[in-house]
Amino acid sequence: MLPIQTKLTSQGQVSVPAAVRSFLSLTPGSVLVWKEEAGRISVERAVRHNTADVHQALFGDAAEVPTKTAAELKQGIRQRMQRRYAGH
């Protein structure tokens, strides 16, 4: 990958270039790890996966990723478990 420049905002934020997002398979909510070694900073994707990663693994790129909050997902799981085990 060729060197890519980005600009630091006054709030200390940096946009991740599209080529880097693609290379690291980043989606909104992906976690990045910043490391310093021998005076150089590296950025890599954290091992942690988000809901978009799980959805893509289950359904592939063709399926649209649902946009639900963590609270909505938790409530949906709770309701599913209550329905499934209501008679036990």
Residue 9 pLDDT: 96
Domain segments of the chain as ranges = 1-48, 51-88
pLDDT tens digits, residue range 27-78? Answer: 888 889 999 999 999 998 887 667 777 777 777 776 676 677 888 888 988 9
Q: Over the chain, what HEC string results?
A: CCCCCCCECCCCCECCCHHHHHHCCCCCCCCEEEEEECCEEEEEECCCCCHHHHHHHHHCCCCCCCCCCHHHHHHHHHHHHHHHHCCC
Residue 18 pLDDT: 93
Class of domain 1-48: mainly beta
88: confidence class by pLDDT, cuts 50, 70, 90: low
pLDDT at 5 over 80: yes
